[in-house]
Amino acid sequence: MTMKDKIDLNSNAVILRKEYKEDSFSPIDVFSFINNIDDITLVYYPISKRISGMCIKINKADKLIAINSTTSYGRQRFTVAHELYHLFFQEKFVNTICPSKIEGVKDIEERNANQFASFFLAPHEALQSYISTISDDGEKPLREYEIIQIEQHFGMSRQATLFRLVSEKYITLQFANTLKTNVIQSARKFGFDDSLYIMQPPEKQYRTTGKYIELVELLNQRGIISHGKYEEYLLEAFRTDIVYNLETEWDEVYD
């Protein structure tokens, strides 16, 4: 088990994007991306703060990702991308539990997965190109405002953004350390939306999407399971919204 070259991890990230019809320069919606993979179930669940997520490869046709739903939206995006490395590129992979730390991780495959996740959200060429549009010919070091522009554009958490920019020497570690607190306020003061840095409210921290829900619906439609069993399976997956046809907080509009 060895640490992979950054160029190889970036290549892996770009290849996986392209396999599912995503280009290598645009920001990516990782949750829509996951929904386009037929064999993955995604579970949102409040786990220990020390854990960002976990994943399991049950067999060739079934994969499960669980993410810590108490983390920010930006960190959840990074966690999903991190787990994709384990599921698609780690050799002889079965399952893993992933720590919340990004920097200073000792496990080699966790380090590979962190680097891959960074490239998946912001491929090398895409980051380089974007930086050249917001700074003076991509000059270093970047300023606070430019760093926030980067994390907003690519949908990355502050920790993930600083990890990447330090590793590519766009900023110093000393400067990065000054940006690890007051994250929400730093975005607000420059006029940015703060949803990237905020976690879901408790009532939305339990949820399952993907293959499991689809399979339950197919079993129900084909009459293979009773309606009671159908509802039981959905409730076990925290989908009371489907069972009880709960309304969203917004009025539904066909437009």
pLDDT of amino acid 250:
58
Q: Are residues 199 and 215 in the same domain?
A: no
Q: Are residues 194 and 216 in the same domain?
A: no
Q: Are residues 109 and 190 in the same domain?
A: yes
Residue 239: domain span: 211-243
Q: If you search the block for the tokens 């940015």, which residue do you land on?
A: 192
Instruction: Label the pairing between strands 40-45 and 51-59.
Output: unpaired
Q: Are residues 200 and 84 in the same domain?
A: yes
Q: Count how many domains the chain has.
A: 2
Among the ranges given (42-56, 107-121, 158-172, 240-254), the one the predictor scored with the smallest mean pLDDT: 240-254
d(CA 9, CA 120): 9
Query: If you average pLDDT over residues 66-77, what whole number do you get?
Result: 96
Q: Are residues 222 and 189 in the same domain?
A: no
121 assigned to some structural domain:
yes
Per-residue pLDDT band at 137 (split at 50, 70, 90): low
Q: Are residues 48 and 144 in the same domain?
A: yes
With contact defined as beta carbons under 8 Å apart, do 49 and 100 qualify?
yes
Mean pLDDT of the chain, nearest integer:
93
Per-residue pLDDT band at 254 (split at 50, 70, 90): low
pLDDT of amino acid 117:
98
249 assigned to some structural domain:
no
d(CA 237, CA 239): 6
228 assigned to some structural domain:
yes
Q: Are residues 24 and 145 in the same domain?
A: yes
70 assigned to some structural domain:
yes
Q: Are residues 17 and 119 in the same domain?
A: yes
Query: If you average pLDDT over residues 1-8, what whole number do you get?
Result: 88
DSSP string, 8-45: HHHHHHHHHHHHTT--SSS---HHHHHHTSTTEEEEEE
Q: Are residues 132 and 177 in the same domain?
A: yes
Residues 20-45 have pLDDT tens digits of 999 999 999 999 999 999 999 999 99
Q: Are residues 175 and 79 in the same domain?
A: yes
pLDDT of amino acid 248:
65
Provide the whole-model pTM: 0.93
248 assigned to some structural domain:
no
Query: If you average pLDDT over residues 168-182, what whole number do you get?
Result: 95
pLDDT of amino acid 138:
55
250 assigned to some structural domain:
no
118 assigned to some structural domain:
yes
Q: Are residues 120 and 41 in the same domain?
A: yes
Q: Are residues 43 and 161 in the same domain?
A: yes
| Peptide linkage before 201 cis (omega within 30 of 0) | no
Question: In the chain, pLDDT over 70 holds for what percent of residues?
Answer: 95
251 assigned to some structural domain:
no
